[in-house]
Structure 1
Amino acid sequence: MIRLLLFSVCFTVTTFQYAYGNNGNFSRLYERFLVDGNTVTVTIDSHHAIHTVSDKFVSLTLDSSQLKYGLRHFHSGLKKIRNLAKGLAPAYLRVGGTAADSLSFKSGPSTDFIMDERELDTLYHFARDVGWDMIFDLNLLHRHHGEWDSTNAESLMKYAASKGYRFHLELGNEPNLYERRGIHVDPAQIGRDYGKLKHLMNSIHPFNEMMLVGPAFTGSFHVDYAEKFLSTGSTYIDAMTVHQYYMDGSKAKAEDFLNPDILDNFKRLAIHRSQEALSKHSKGTKTTWVLETSSAYGGGAPVLSESFIAGFTWLDELGMAAANGIPVVARQNFVGAHYSLVANDNPLPDYWLTLLHKRLVGRKVLKVTSSEHNRHFRIYAHCSKEHGHPHGVTFFFQNMLSSEVKLNLEQYTNHYYELYILTAGGDGSLTSKTVKLNGHELHMNGDSLPTLSPVTDRVWPVKVPGHSFGFLVSPHADASACP
């Protein structure tokens, strides 16, 4: 009892110690742990899934600003780029961002930039060929007498329909921040604008069969703003979309990526607020999608968002989103800016993390429980990817402490496991742009993805190095919730 009481104030591992506040609100947010020294013991409910996410749970974005420059930074025809993209299929590709509200198709006002047919063709064919479904963000600031002017959108949709293209739509980007740009659009009117778009979609095949999502609120939106939108627009959307960033890219510091208070803001802000608003207007029929997200806004934090350390925000977000019923999370960006997965046609550390998640983590989310929780070592559990281990369980975890932690899974200590530990590449700096899998640095094999092989063992507990994250697959967990 004394040791557990002390643990609620401080978690000690060997020679390193982190102090943290004991906040009861988080006892339901994260998996909870019984800690003995530096050993974390975890159990799961293997009989019931608490949520089921989309098969496109991990999705991608391409910022609309790429179209402003004629897609010259997007080398969609390269075999390497296509293989990198195929590795992350199936997924949605959301083409959107701030620039979406300055974009016109073929012609438009002088304040807009123009996307031509060739650019739409390039985007659509790339997404189709690599196994992604496109979501295209239309310009909400095409307005006339206070209402959305659908003329340009109709031109785009009719061209796409004539080519047999099938893609989903969104309207506008972060409208709750329009006031900062001196633009006022009432959120209830935006809901009516969504109704106008939905009626247009219903009149043009195949858009009558496609989804309409939106309206791309930032994570800092106010619940009453969302409720005003939903009061007029909830019946027209298939999902409410929000954006999630942890920090300002121009001010971010390395320690911010390891700060549990910053990581916890995701649930406190974006998840809680969107679910509160939806509960009053959709009666459980709609969900929240995180359709744009990365570590830091403003194009990311130079050096940091493109390095190994960014994986701590990214992996925790994937775990937290699924555990709270978010079915889709779209990473900003596949290519472009400091927070991209791919730069100069080469994968960055977060790409490898995303690829492993795609290959190992299934759709069904399992509940992890114990008698206490620790905010610097986090672990989540899903059924394993169905085609690999039909009754297996995949755990993914991160150790934000600088010291080793031993992980013990009491239910499976008689079973062997497959372990994938990711650590910083190069000299081990957390700002490395490369990553090691089980001690071996990952690189492409020419234009092809390498084999990602686990260490297979049955020695418990599992040693998790300081400042690392990874995946543990228990192939023979015999979890009745899986598949």
Structure 2
Amino acid sequence: MGLLERHESKGRDTWDGLKLPELHCGVEFSGNPRDLKKKGLINAIKAFNPLRIKVGGSLQDQVVYGVGGVKNCPNFMKNEDSLFGFSQGYLPMERWDELNKFFNQTGVKVTFGLNALLGRNRSQIEKGLWVGDWQSQNARDFMKYTISKGYKVDSYEFGNQLSRAGMGASVEAEQYGRDILVLKNLVKELHREPKTQPKVLGPSGYYDVKCWELRFCESGGALHGGAKDLSPTFADGFWYLDQLRMASTYNHKAFCRQTLIGGNYALLNTTTSIPNPDYYSALLWHRLMGSTVLFVTQESNPNFRVYAHCTKKKPGISIIFINLSKDSSFNVTLSNYEHQSHNLRSTDVTKPNFEFRGSKDREEYHLAALARNIQGQIVLLNNVLMVPTETFDILTMEPKLVNASTPISIAAHSIVYVTIRDFQAPACA
């Protein structure tokens, strides 16, 4: 396997102070945990230090905020004639206070999903289409309350999947564009200091490039709560980590995982707050993969994928190996390739410079499913069962130290992170 250094431009510090194209793992907080004091939930969040949480989800476009002129609105009720089968619901400010106490305790950064359907009506012509201007007063009152309490919202997302190919409801691109400008102006009006202004995000959905030319992204591997026999299992990591790597290659600033709690695709079990396998994969990515992406070549097998970044904490590089094969294992030897010219042109070529022989032990993290059952929810890290302690503490994720001159062994149906501190990649200097 050869590594060809790739110098990526580093943008300004954004999204939790991480430089582009480093991909920050975030999650969507669409569930409604009964007890925000659960130690398992708190410890799982703190382990990321920090974690971005989006408060929202499918029903965010039916939420009225209990502030200003809004009094005594009911909770969500089942209603087959309404969007997603539920009536309009109500967020009391007492509940918002509780959530912010929880956010402050865990140190998360908050993206809040606003109701973007207020004031609109269902189209009489086209099913699923909502028409009319957005009514911003309730959002204004909510923001003013949030500011008065000193609560920190890092960004506001405008609606949930309202693009043309959205879910349940959609808004025309031109209308959405006009309304997101209204929201942007509202944020500027209420937050006078540019440095503390929340960002405005959208459209948070699947969209047709021909109709939707706004350049935003969010992604998920499954709809409607996820697939119960796949999303919370070890197998989901093969998609999840591949998606993280592809997004970082294309300079995306952040990837919001759906969800932290809620549905089958949650990082944490909705009932127990015990981490699902993807939690540990995401935590290792967050800790190891840095902001500079390296180009990797490998001549092996289409079921074997290799990605590399400069390590998050210098020096060295961090590599992730994904073995999709259920039968084949791989032994990998690294080679370092360097450019002949710093000013690359179409005529430039690369040549193998040397086969890597490190002097320091490398750090390895081998993730595998218990008993090789990739549709199970129990993960092993370096053959250690990853289950929280009786006091709900997240286990320390210690690497296995291996002689750097030996090949890296990648078992069938496994995911392996490797950090090599003395690998000389000029891009990581």
Give the corresponding residue for 1:460. Answer: 406
Change in CA separation of 1:435 and 1:392 when aligned onto 2, cut-off 3 Å: same
Q: CA deviation at 1:74?
A: 4.8
Q: CA deviation at 1:478?
A: 3.4
Q: Does 1:414 align with 2:358?
A: yes
CA–CA distance in 1 between the matches of 2:198 and 2:300? 39
Per-residue displacement from partner, 1:47-104 (whole Å, max 9, x unpaired)? Answer: 62366536771111111xx3xxxx3x35321222111101122232111222111111
* Structure (1 or 2) with the greater helix fraction: 1
Q: CA deviation at 1:394?
A: 0.2
Aligned pair count?
368
Q: Does 1:128 align with 2:117?
A: no
Give the corresponding residue for 1:275. Answer: none
> Structure 1: which amino acid aligns with 2:415?
F
Q: CA deviation at 1:338?
A: 0.7
Give the corresponding residue for 1:241. Answer: 216
Give the corresponding residue for 1:176. Answer: 163
TM-score by length of 2: 0.80
> Structure 2: which amino acid aligns with 1:378?
R
Change in CA separation of 1:435 and 1:97 when aligned onto 2, cut-off 3 Å: same
CA–CA distance in 2 between the matches of 1:199 and 1:379? 44
Give the corresponding residue for 2:267. Answer: 341
- Contact 2:330 / 2:409 at 8 angstroms: preserved in 1? yes
Per-residue displacement from partner, 1:355-414 (whole Å, max 9, x unpaired)? Answer: 1112212222222235x574311111111122xxx1210001100012101122123333
Change in CA separation of 1:392 and 1:61 when aligned onto 2, cut-off 3 Å: same
The secondary structure found in structure 1 opposite 2:113 is strand
Decide which of 286, 290, 307 is 1:380's aligned counterpart: 307
Name stretches of at least 5 consecutive residues in structure 1 with no aligned partner: 1-40, 231-239, 245-292
Decide which of 34, 43, 67 is 1:83's aligned counterpart: 43
CA–CA distance in 2 between the matches of 1:184 and 1:348? 32
Per-residue displacement from partner, 1:225-251 (whole Å, max 9, x unpaired)? Answer: 212xx4xxxxxxxxx43332xxxxxxx
CA–CA distance in 2 between the matches of 1:77 and 1:56? 29
Decide which of 132, 136, 157 is 1:150's aligned counterpart: 136
Q: CA deviation at 1:453?
A: 1.6
Give the corresponding residue for 1:57. Answer: 24
Give the corresponding residue for 2:179. Answer: 193
Give the corresponding residue for 2:330. Answer: 405
Change in CA separation of 1:191 and 1:395 when aligned onto 2, cut-off 3 Å: same
- Contact 1:42 / 1:409 at 8 angstroms: preserved in 2? yes
> Structure 1: which amino acid aligns with 2:7?
H
- Contact 1:53 / 1:328 at 8 angstroms: preserved in 2? no
Q: CA deviation at 1:192?
A: 0.8
Give the corresponding residue for 1:274. Answer: none
- Contact 1:62 / 1:334 at 8 angstroms: preserved in 2? yes
TM-score by length of 1: 0.71
Give the corresponding residue for 1:250. Answer: none
CA–CA distance in 2 between the matches of 1:210 and 1:429? 47
Change in CA separation of 1:464 and 1:133 when aligned onto 2, cut-off 3 Å: same
* Structure (1 or 2) with the greater strand fraction: 1
> Structure 1: which amino acid aligns with 2:425?
A
Change in CA separation of 1:437 and 1:118 when aligned onto 2, cut-off 3 Å: same
Give the corresponding residue for 2:199. Answer: 212
Q: CA deviation at 1:342?
A: 0.7
- Contact 1:391 / 1:479 at 8 angstroms: preserved in 2? no
- Contact 2:164 / 2:173 at 8 angstroms: preserved in 1? no
Q: CA deviation at 1:315?
A: 1.0
CA–CA distance in 1 between the matches of 2:170 and 2:312? 46
Give the corresponding residue for 1:247. Answer: none
> Structure 2: which amino acid aligns with 1:189?
Q
- Contact 2:319 / 2:419 at 8 angstroms: preserved in 1? yes
Give the corresponding residue for 1:236. Answer: none
- Contact 2:163 / 2:170 at 8 angstroms: preserved in 1? no
> Structure 2: which amino acid aligns with 1:120?
W
Decide which of 314, 317, 320 is 1:393's aligned counterpart: 317
- Contact 1:201 / 1:207 at 8 angstroms: preserved in 2? no
- Contact 2:316 / 2:428 at 8 angstroms: preserved in 1? yes
CA–CA distance in 2 between the matches of 1:184 and 1:340? 25
- Contact 1:176 / 1:218 at 8 angstroms: preserved in 2? yes
Give the corresponding residue for 1:433. Answer: 377
CA–CA distance in 2 between the matches of 1:397 and 1:330? 22
Give the corresponding residue for 1:18. Answer: none
> Structure 1: which amino acid aligns with 2:412?
G
- Contact 1:166 / 1:206 at 8 angstroms: preserved in 2? no
Q: CA deviation at 1:123?
A: 2.5
